[in-house]
Structure 1
Amino acid sequence: MLRRTLTTLVRTALLPVRGAAMLYKAGRAHQHFFLPVLNGALGDQLAASGDARTIQLSFRRGGHDVPVAELGLSQPHQKTVVFVHGLMGDELIWQTGFQDTPGGPLRYGPRLAAEAGCRPLYVRYNTGLHISENGRALSQLLTELVETYPSAVGELVLVGHSMGGLVIRSASYYGNEQVAVTSEPPAAHPKRKGKPRPAAPSSPLAETAPWLAHLRTVFLVGVPHDGSYLEQNGQLVERLLRRINLFPTRFLSQAIARRSNGIKDLGQALLVDEDWQQPDDPALPHPRTVVPLQPGVRYHVLVGAWLRASLPQAVREYFGDGLVGAASGRGQLFSDEAALPPGTSVRTARFGQQHHGGLLHHPEVYQYLRQWI
């Protein structure tokens, strides 16, 4: 009896030590999350100040940036899948995760490589920058990829989670951006309005980015195509605190206003430079350029449903997957079949009882990717 009591006391006394050791071990194993979170929150300010902690958009391998020339792609005409993470994420969310155990099941990238024979490539980028800045940089990176390995890259498949899907759509816009032969100053911006505006018409004196000729399929996983209700609520709180105009509320509104440009862009899913370059008028919403879908591309829109089906539909629609509302996740543009470009198709899949982060490691989501990739 005494021995059992002493053993229990010793084990109880060691619990805090064991807990601290587990926390330390988990922190060491997942310290790679620190920089992505910091960049997501303040990445635009880090970049503006030249801070060494600023993440540069790049392909990643083994926890390091890899120049395109050093990827060493050799197998000819292999289907290449490029994964693009979301806000405050990194490339490891496609390979492993915080709750994964050593030797546990692989995530989407390694499994697709093993079971579908495709070539996975992972991009990491500074999610605190404007979505359009990352979209332009991604288009340039993909151009460099297909120009460096013209015979190795076969079909190109893009998979984006959350903000990553918006960056992919922005990249297609800048891949299609027409570069006139003669340099002319840009036209003055139209007066700011609250309605979406169409993208600029194409010019015959230009060519599109070469990677678009390889693009066949795009998977958009938990993407706020029409904006994030969380950021919209954040903007509302900031404006209300500013209008109250007391010292505590001014302090709070100024602190909220320091959130990154990338987070602010999520409010209305701004994909084009001109949309955020307008003068900031809190009384008016940003204009939003309607970025068309890419001709001849198969789009798969994957949406999570977080709440139970027994709850009112209006509540389930509003909260969606917990971070992205259901309507925004489906995207108004994707539901208009009459407006689809030639050869473009859209397929929407809904995954019940699944939250925003869970879409990154859900067995049914993987099976969907495996079937359609």
Structure 2
Amino acid sequence: MDLSELLDDLIRFWPVDVDDVSLIGHSMGGLVLRSAGHHGYEAAHEWTGKAKTYVSLGTPHSGAPLENLAHQASAILAARPETNAFGRLLRRRSGGIRDLRAGSLVDSDWQGRDPDGLAAAMAAEVPLLPGVDHYWVSATLTRDPKHPLSRVIGDGLVLHHSAGGRNSTRHIGFTEDNGLHLGRANHFNLLNDARIAAKLVDWVG
């Protein structure tokens, strides 16, 4: 919500008229931008009507296994007096990190729920910002995203299918044609890769 308001101010106070806005986010940044788009559209912020392109780089749209592991580990450690201190330490994760468990974008996902409870993760189905071309990039440590190792660890932090906004029960709306997969690459290679730079020329212009 705060980001959406800042973007709206940026558009209004920019020294020349703004024709279009391109949004590019890496990892959690991709979720933050989608959340800003949702809140901005709901509030009729001017910038959302000027947004033309959205690109996410290794964003866990349907959740990240590392956060799920931390969530489970904190519950196990907190349950025993010998390890309770470690469990409490793990539970000091920020709200943003906790959102990575299922790719949450809105506060209502947590209302009435214990953030440390072992109930199944939930994420509201927030539609993609209308009128925008949506693109996504994933990476895997192996060449083939279907390799058993890639299915487990993806790019080291985010799985291929999550970067594409899919899992067994969810599909947020990205298309395969608007995706790019980098084999033998890790999560941080996505920040500086010539193949992505070339695609951005095509996608953003």
The reply to whether TM is greater than 0.5 is yes
Q: Report whether the alignment pairs 1:304 with 2:139.
A: yes
Shift of 1:346: 6.4
- Partners of 1:346 and 1:170 lie apart in 2 by 23
Aligned partner of 1:226 among 53, 62, 69: 62
Contact in 2 for aligned 1:223/1:329 (Cα 8 Å): yes
Q: Report whether the alignment pairs 1:268 with 2:139.
A: no
- Partners of 2:130 and 2:61 lie apart in 1 by 18
User: Following superposition, which runs of at least 4 residues in structure 1 exceed 3 angstroms of deviation?
Assistant: 334-337
Residue 7 of structure 2 is matched in structure 1 by: 142
Shift of 1:350: 0.6
Residue 290 of structure 1 is matched in structure 2 by: 125
Query: What is the identity, as a one-letter code, of the residue corresponding to 2:66?
Result: L
Residue 240 of structure 1 is matched in structure 2 by: 76
- Partners of 1:149 and 1:228 lie apart in 2 by 36
Aligned partner of 2:187 among 333, 343, 356: 356
- Partners of 2:134 and 2:141 lie apart in 1 by 23
Count of residue correspondences: 199
**Per-residue CA distance 1:320-343 (angstroms, 9 max, x = gap):** 111101111111234576xxxxxx
Residue 35 of structure 2 is matched in structure 1 by: 170
Contact in 2 for aligned 1:163/1:223 (Cα 8 Å): yes
Shift of 1:160: 0.3
Query: What is the identity, as a one-letter code, of the residue corresponding to 2:52?
Result: R
**Per-residue CA distance 1:217-248 (angstroms, 9 max, x = gap):** 001111000011000000011111123x22x3
* CA-atom RMSD in angstroms: 2.1
- Partner SS, residue 20 of structure 2: strand
Q: RCO greater where, 1 or 2, for CA within 8 Å and sep 6 or more?
A: 2
- Partners of 1:321 and 1:305 lie apart in 2 by 4
Name structure 1 gaps, 5 residues minimum. 1-135, 179-207, 338-344
- Partners of 2:154 and 2:78 lie apart in 1 by 29
Aligned partner of 2:47 among 211, 229, 233: 211
- Partners of 2:124 and 2:70 lie apart in 1 by 22
Query: What is the identity, as a one-letter code, of the residue corresponding to 1:366?
Result: A
TM-score by length of 1: 0.50
Residue 36 of structure 1 is matched in structure 2 by: none
- Partner SS, residue 157 of structure 1: strand
Contact in 2 for aligned 1:165/1:220 (Cα 8 Å): yes
Residue 325 of structure 1 is matched in structure 2 by: 159
Q: Report whether the alignment pairs 1:277 with 2:108.
A: no
